[in-house]
Amino acid sequence: MSGPTPDTPKARLPIETRAQLIEELASGCKPKAAWRIGTEHEKFPFLTDTLEPVPYHGSRSIKALLEGLRDRFGWTGVYEGDNIIALSDPNGLGNVSLEPGGQFELSGAPLASVHETCEEVHEHLSQVREVGDRLGIGFLGLGASPLWSRAETPVMPKGRYGIMAPYMDRVGRYGRDMMFRTCTVQVNLDFSSELDMVQKLRVSLALQPVATALFANSPFLDGKPNGYLSFRSEVWRDTDNARAGMLPFVFEHGMSFERYVDYALDVPMYFIMRDGKYINTAGESFRSFLQGRLPQLPGEKPVIKDWADHLTTIFPEVRLKKYLEMRGADSGPWRRLCALPALWVGLLYHQPSLDAAWDLVKSWTAEERQALRDDVPRQALNARIGSRTVREISAEVLRLSRAGLDARGLSGCKGRMESAFLDTLDETVATGKTAGENLLALYHGSWQGDVRRVFRDFAY
Number of C-alpha atoms within 13 angstroms, CB side, residue 191?
25
Percentage of the chain lying above the pLDDT 90 cut: 94
pLDDT digits (tens, 9 = 90+) for 171-208: 999 999 999 999 999 999 999 999 999 999 999 999 99
pLDDT recorded at residue 168: 95
CA nearest to 131, candidates 69, 41, 44, 70: 69
pLDDT digits (tens, 9 = 90+) for 207-236: 999 999 999 999 999 999 999 999 999 999
pLDDT recorded at residue 128: 97
Q: Is the confidence at residue 53, as pLDDT, over 70?
A: yes
Mean local confidence (pLDDT), 42-68? 98
pLDDT recorded at residue 5: 66
Residue 331 contacts residue 33 (beta carbons within 8 Å): no
Residue 335 contacts residue 288 (beta carbons within 8 Å): no
Q: What domains appear along the chain, each with residue ranges and CATH number?
A: 31-267+314-458 (3.30.590.20)
Q: Is the confidence at residue 24, as pLDDT, over 70?
A: yes
Q: Is the confidence at residue 452, as pLDDT, over 80?
A: yes
When pLDDT is cut at 50, 70 and 90, the band that residue 4 belongs to is low
Q: Give me the amino acid identity at 151.
A: A
Residue 111 contacts residue 187 (beta carbons within 8 Å): no
pLDDT digits (tens, 9 = 90+) for 60-100: 999 999 999 999 999 999 999 999 999 999 887 899 999 99
Number of C-alpha atoms within 13 angstroms, CB side, residue 361?
30
- Cα 123 from chain centroid? 20
Q: Give me the amino acid identity at 92.
A: G
Burial 317-347 (b: 16+ CB within 10 A, else e): bbbbbbbbbbbbbbbbbeebbbbbbbbbbbb
Q: Is the confidence at residue 139, as pLDDT, over 90?
A: yes
pLDDT digits (tens, 9 = 90+) for 144-163: 999 999 999 999 999 999 99
Q: Is the confidence at residue 278, as pLDDT, over 60?
A: yes
User: Global pTM?
Assistant: 0.96
CA distance 40 to 62: 19
